[in-house]
Amino acid sequence: MDKFELQAYQGVLVAGVDEVGRGPLFGDVVTAAVILDPNNPIDGLADSKRLTEKRREALFEEVKAKALSWSVARASVAEIDQLNILHATLLAMQRAVAGLSVAPEYVLIDGNRCPKLPCPSEAVVKGDARVAAISAASILAKVTRDRELIDADHLYPGYGLAKHKGYPTALHLDALARLGVTPLHRRSFAPVRRLLEAKAGDI
């Protein structure tokens, strides 16, 4: 994948933004924004999905220590069900950018849609593999969400949340059918909605 070259802005206050958790049936969608320090480089930044868990964890700490600014934000399950996953994700991205202690002058968003922001922004398809700041944001978001799903596995045993992180695997769908829907399942997502409709029909 070719590296993305920014033409519209040549300064250093560029924030990268990414999300984790659009596809799962369970839990919040988590976003992060990172402004890297060009004088304090971080080796090995890459799309978080392509890194080992051990490497992600190490980079998670390094990004927090070396970045000019970083922020992690989210949209809740209730907001996802109310707004839909796209608009909830854009809202979470706005929150991540707003949470930065250093105001960015330009923002690069992973994907093909930008939220409304108080500064110029640009969407970068596959940006988590092409832009170091987006890679850093993807690492912060993924490690944060993965840790939350491991904690949720203790709250809701039997669903396999620590293993599949809420995605609609066969294991997860089987557990949903057997154990029912928890308060942190996304009711607007089809597999969960169908279960609830079937249960309501049995009453």
| pLDDT tens-digit series, residues 105-133 | 999 999 999 999 999 999 999 999 999 99
Q: Answer whether residue 4 shows pLDDT above 90.
A: no
pLDDT value of residue 151: 98
Q: How many CB atoms lie within 10 A of CB 16?
A: 29
The pTM (predicted TM-score) of the whole model is 0.95
Residues 101, 69: Cα–Cα separation, whole Å: 6
Number of domains in the chain: 1
- Domain extent at residue 178: 1-203
The CATH number of the domain where 183 resides is what? Answer: 3.30.420.10
Beta bridge partners of 78: none
